[in-house]
């Protein structure tokens, strides 16, 4: 049975809303609910037919789902994540050997013991949760749910599940990324959020930039700079936080730089350098009026990083020079 992240999150909310009438709370630690079938439960021997796991992250965190769905005798792996809203559901057919590995995961982690697990920690206002459902070839099923509570062996299960699904997931993500790169950029730039933060041997300079077209927020030009090295500005702290008219924001100049250095090839780039503690961390998001967003981040720098950074920051500082400095 196919489900979406939205469906499972709604279900999680509904379960929580009715928790009071069916749980046995532990007032000391806020935990309530059922521990499930337990370690004496007998596992199903017929093999996994369908599988669904959803992780609901804390506020601002990731939420994602892994599914194995059956359609007309074929099985498909489906991955969906809030980290990649522009990708939607990614799907790939899997064979019987993959299902056998999933059955082995079920057996190795003794997931039969989780059947009926349904626990919530009511003392945690923000946190994470999971939902798991499996159907077997003989028609039997298993389900488990937790909100800020997990069954025994959960970490081991997650590690083994990731080891199984990750190669397929990464393959699908890269294919979709290349599709987006091939599409190129056709819209006009209307938004930018760029951060450069040096660490360790790379220095101590910081640039925090958030600029939008007027009307999106009252003060649409927000730039904060901490210059320690004096690379582009004399040593000091600079803040520019103003409502700025569109004709004073050089969106066209920034877009020319994006095209000059072919930043579309950075689409959803996210790489970490081995010596990350001594590398400048960067994060950027450029939004266009056709709805496309170009995101990249990391401490391992992509091609043309230094050239783009220099010209981009010079252009930002030039725009800032037209605004009164607040120190």
Q: At what angle do helices 96-108 and 154-183 cross, to 10 degrees?
A: 150
Spatial separation of the C-alpha atoms in residues 82 and 60, rounded to whole Å = 10
What's the confidence (pLDDT) of residue 201? Answer: 96
Closest CA to 296 of 168, 176, 193, 167: 193
What's the confidence (pLDDT) of residue 57? Answer: 82
Spell out the domain ranges in the chain. 36-183, 189-320
Domains 36-183 and 189-320 equal at CATH topology level:
yes
3-class DSSP assignment, residue 281: strand
What's the confidence (pLDDT) of residue 28? Answer: 52
Spatial separation of the C-alpha atoms in residues 144 and 51, rounded to whole Å = 12
What's the confidence (pLDDT) of residue 124? Answer: 75
Determine which helix (DSSP H) or strand (DSSP E) holds 6, and give its type and residue range.
helix 5-17
Q: Is residue 283 classed exposed, middle or buried when 0-12, 13-18 and 19+ CB atoms within 10 A define those classes?
A: middle
Note whether 89 and 79 are within 8 A (CB): yes
Structure tokens at 213: 């077209």
What's the confidence (pLDDT) of residue 30? Answer: 67
Q: What are the tens digits of pLDDT across the range 234-270?
A: 999 999 999 999 999 999 999 999 999 999 999 999 9
Residues of the chain with pLDDT under 70: 1-30, 59-61, 324-327
Q: What are the tens digits of pLDDT across the range 122-166?
A: 777 778 899 999 999 999 999 999 999 999 999 999 999 999 999
If one counts every other C-beta atom within 10 angstroms of the C-beta of residue 279, the result is 19
Closest CA to 120 of 180, 34, 181, 196: 34
3-class DSSP assignment, residue 245: coil
Q: What is the DSSP string of 96-150?
A: HHHHHHHHHHHHHTTGGGGTTEEEEETT-SS--EEEEEEEETTS-EEEEEEES--
User: What is 36-183's CATH number?
Assistant: 3.30.1560
What's the confidence (pLDDT) of residue 174? Answer: 95
User: What is 189-320's CATH number?
Assistant: 3.30.1560
């Amino acid at each position: 049975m196919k489900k979406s992240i939205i469906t499972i999150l709604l279900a999680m909310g509904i379960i929580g809303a009715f928790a009071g009438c069916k749980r046995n709370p532990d007032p000391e630690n806020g935990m309530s609910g059922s521990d499930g079938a337990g370690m004496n439960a007998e596992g199903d021997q017929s093999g996994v037919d369908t599988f669904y796991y959803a992780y609901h992250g804390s506020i601002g965190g990731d939420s994602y789902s892994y599914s194995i769905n059956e359609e007309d005798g074929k099985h498909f792996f489906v991955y969906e994540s809030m980290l990649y809203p522009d990708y939607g559901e990614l799907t790939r057919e899997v064979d019987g050997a993959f299902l056998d590995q999933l059955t082995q995961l079920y057996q190795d982690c003794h997931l039969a013991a989780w059947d009926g697990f349904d626990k919530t920690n009511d003392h945690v206002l923000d946190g994470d949760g999971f939902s798991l459902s499996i159907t077997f070839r003989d028609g039997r099923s298993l389900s488990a749910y937790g909100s800020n509570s997990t069954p025994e062996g959960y970490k081991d299960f997650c590690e083994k599940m990731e080891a199984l699904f990750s190669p397929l997931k990464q393959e699908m993500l890269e294919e979709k990324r290349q599709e987006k790169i091939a599409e190129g950029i056709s819209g006009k730039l209307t938004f930018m959020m760029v951060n450069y933060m040096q660490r360790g041997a790379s220095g101590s300079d910081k640039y925090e930039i958030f600029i939008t077209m007027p009307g999106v927020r009252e003060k649409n030009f927000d730039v904060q700079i901490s210059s320690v090295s004096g690379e582009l500005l004399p040593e000091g702290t600079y803040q520019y936080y103003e409502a700025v008219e569109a004709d004073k924001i050089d969106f066209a100049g920034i877009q020319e730089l994006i095209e000059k250095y072919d930043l579309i090839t950075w689409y959803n780039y996210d790489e970490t350098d081995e010596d990350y503690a001594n590398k400048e961390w960067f994060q950027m998001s450029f939004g266009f009026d056709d709805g496309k967003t170009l995101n990249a981040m990391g401490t391992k720098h992509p091609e043309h990083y230094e050239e783009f950074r220099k010209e981009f920051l010079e252009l930002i500082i030039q725009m800032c020079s037209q605004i009164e400095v607040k120190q």
